[in-house]
A and B are shown apart, each in its own frame.
Chain A
Amino acid sequence: MLEKALTGSRRYWIWVFSLLVMSGIGFIFYLKQLSYGLGITGMSRDVSWGFYIGQFTLLVGVAASAVIVVLPYYLHNYKQFGRITVLGEFLAVASVTMCLLFIFVDLGQPFRILNVLLYPTPNSVMFWDAVVLSGYLLLNIVIGWTVLGAERKASPPPDWLKPLIYLSIAWAPSIHIVTAFLYSGLPGRHFWLTAIMAVRFLASAFASGPALIIILCLIVRGFTKFDPGREAIQTLGKIITYTMILNVLFLGFELFTAFYSNIPGHMHTFQYLHAGLEGYGKLVPMMWISNILAVVSLVLLINPATRKNERTLSMASASIFISLWIDKGFGLVVGGFIPNPLEKITEYWPTMPETLITLGVWAIGFLILTILYKVAVSVKEEIA
């Protein structure tokens, strides 16, 4: 089926070529990082994880959210999602690949990455994260590809696939729960030391991922003859309405615990992120953009008229995605390090090489997504 990615319009090739150029630029800067070290980034002794791990954290959520289209279709026989499950699964493949790449580019000694498997360490959450991520990647490649292959031959998917699909449904939340555990089990990092980190992660993932799927569905419909279906998109719209409400509520719970308890350590990062602390406030404007976009998205989604209108629904989806990209891909990870364990403030901002490497990884992800979607859409056009 892969040959379908090799034929396409002029516009398709320009898009593919631009992504290749972007990933090429990222790769050149990565080579520079390899020789100079991670000092090429904005990270420091105090803020020792930055942009890379932020993107990883966000994209794990996007990957996990494939379950939002897989589960209703397979467990509740919700037929409307049948047309888009493969889009969700392939989005998961692209995002997990990006996750693994972001971890890879963040390593000080990337060529030793196999040490994680050679010396398996069950007491490290990172070991389990590596296990669940690679397992999820495999599951989604196998399931997505097999279902699409069967669809092409107009036959039902093979029986052996069913258990794998059920496994993937149970597996999806685990990748994001385990990722939340990377943060929420650390002593002395007040901002992350919260038991609702995992549910917060799930709520934000099940908002940002499906929001992205809505946007992708609308793009696919605009550029190809395949229509994911208005009802499927509307159902996703309702799902992100509830998950985004939950996400904002959870953030409110965190604020209550921090500020009503009045414990300085629990308040510091919130103060730093949203108001500035001791004269430092580099992230304040970004965080307010995120807050405002969250409100905008909720207004557009809760109001049935704007949710049902696909134009305003797409605006709401974009607002959610950007809002959560800032909140999780930036504020959550960087904020956790500020102030540092000695209650001192060192600020962080990504450098140019770091940004280009990040863009390069995104470009690779979009390239994988484009190719997989091209195959999926061509098959669907063929059988339509």
Chain B
Amino acid sequence: MSINRRQFLKIAGISTIVGLGGTTTIKALWRDELEASQVSPSPEALVAKRWAMVVDVSKFKIDNDYKRVIDACHRIHNVPDFGNPKDEVKWIWTDTFSHAFPGQEHEYMEGGIKHKPFMILCNHCDNPPCVRVCPTKATFKREDGIVMMDFHRCIGCRFCMAACPFGARSFNWRDPRPFIKEENKEFPTRTIGVVEKCNFCYERLAKGLIPACVEACKDNKALVFGDLKDPNSEVRKILSSCYTIRRKSELGTQPSVFYVIGGSNNA
């Protein structure tokens, strides 16, 4: 049976549409197989079932304790410094108790806690709203709980920024590269128009290293990193011996960053 030109074009057109969009769509709807990144771990990599962090607030004593942590993170991740709040990009920073834990403060609170800066960062939630809303899976949760960003897939819609209840995400409002003081060639720089945030140093974990911020607190153990699912891990020991709080736990996102507020000799 021969076909004429018109029929041929019809069939070609329809099969192109089906071929381009159809099968991918059906496959992706069927099962979640289009993860933006699939990493096979190297033998020396640090692995966990569920990564988590404990911040022992009392161990941050002087300004330099905070600065060290922030600098370590921002330096190795090529976080630009624009010097103005409008374009600001930040992965880990400090704020007071009332801003880090809105609604938890009260006027009779102990002065030391009230005015003390708290280290805040992405909470790598168990139930991350940013992942739920992302229309391209550019932000996704790994099996070990790390909430990741794929800078190459992000379309810059900033829905994740609206969804994050912790203000943990930054957007590259302009080209960040001229504002990186000293570029670390081991980690990618970003382009304009993509969202970025703390990634729990997944790239260091893959090489067997602990996160840079945790390493910067090695001497005073103000930040502790470990496997939440391992009962013998350091984080679990702290969680079982100290009273800890999480940011906005009422929202049900299940943050993986825990704060020890009081006891200096507990952790």
A122 beta carbon closer than 8 Å to chain B: yes
CA of A153 to CA of B235 in the docked complex: distance in angstroms? 78
Q: Are B135 and A127 in contact (CB under 8 A)?
A: yes
B174 contacts across to A, CB distance below 8 A = 36-40
- A19 vs chain B, min Cβ distance (A): 28
Determine which of A38, A110, A117, A344 lies in contact with B171 in the assembled complex, contact meaning CB atoms within 8 Å: A38
Q: Are A120 and B103 in contact (CB under 8 A)?
A: no
Interface size class of B (residues with CB under 8 A): 35 or more
- B267 vs chain A, min Cβ distance (A): 25
Q: Are A121 and B136 in contact (CB under 8 A)?
A: yes
B158 contacts across to A, CB distance below 8 A = 48-49, 106, 108
B167 beta carbon closer than 8 Å to chain A: yes
A158 beta carbon closer than 8 Å to chain B: no
CA of A237 to CA of B21 in the docked complex: distance in angstroms? 45
Q: Are A39 and B159 in contact (CB under 8 A)?
A: no
A113 contacts across to B, CB distance below 8 A = 155
Binary flags per residue of B22-44, CB closer than 8 Å to A gives 1, else 0? 00110011000010100000000
Main secondary structure of the interface of A (DSSP, over half): loop
Main secondary structure of the interface of B (DSSP, over half): loop
Q: Are B171 and A342 in contact (CB under 8 A)?
A: no
A115 beta carbon closer than 8 Å to chain B: yes
Q: Are A187 and B251 in contact (CB under 8 A)?
A: yes
B25 contacts across to A, CB distance below 8 A = 117, 120
Determine which of A48, A107, A110, A130 lies in contact with B162 in the assembled complex, contact meaning CB atoms within 8 Å: A48
B154 contacts across to A, CB distance below 8 A = 108-109, 112
Q: Are A341 and B135 in contact (CB under 8 A)?
A: no
Within 8 A of A (CB), among B169-210: 170-175, 191-195
B50 beta carbon closer than 8 Å to chain A: no
Q: Are A189 and B155 in contact (CB under 8 A)?
A: no
Q: Are B129 and A186 in contact (CB under 8 A)?
A: yes
Binary flags per residue of A32-51, CB closer than 8 Å to B gives 1, else 0? 00001111100111101100
Q: Are A188 and B193 in contact (CB under 8 A)?
A: no
B161 beta carbon closer than 8 Å to chain A: yes
Q: Are A118 and B24 in contact (CB under 8 A)?
A: yes
- A285 vs chain B, min Cβ distance (A): 23
Binds A, one of B4-12, B53-61, B93-101, B213-221: B93-101
Determine which of B24, B134, B172 lies in contact with A124 in the assembled complex, contact meaning CB atoms within 8 Å: B134
The 5 closest A-B CB pairs, nearest first, are A108-B156, A188-B165, A108-B193, A39-B173, A37-B192
Q: Give 20 new A-B contacts, CB below 8 A, not counting A44-B87, A49-B162.
A: A36-B174, A38-B156, A40-B174, A45-B167, A48-B161, A48-B171, A108-B154, A108-B155, A108-B157, A109-B154, A112-B156, A118-B24, A118-B136, A119-B136, A121-B134, A127-B135, A130-B135, A341-B167, A342-B167, A343-B99
Residues of chain A whose beta carbon lies under 8 Å from any beta carbon of chain B = 36-40, 43-46, 48-49, 103, 106-110, 112-113, 115-127, 130, 182-183, 185-189, 264-265, 336-337, 340-344, 346
Residues of chain B whose beta carbon lies under 8 Å from any beta carbon of chain A = 21, 24-25, 28-29, 34, 36, 85-89, 95, 98-100, 102-103, 129, 132-138, 153-159, 161-167, 170-175, 191-195, 248, 251-253
Give 19 A-B contacts (CB < 8 Å), ordered by A residue. Answer: A36-B174, A36-B192, A37-B193, A38-B174, A38-B193, A44-B88, A46-B167, A107-B193, A108-B171, A115-B136, A116-B155, A119-B153, A120-B25, A130-B135, A185-B133, A186-B129, A187-B253, A188-B166, A341-B102
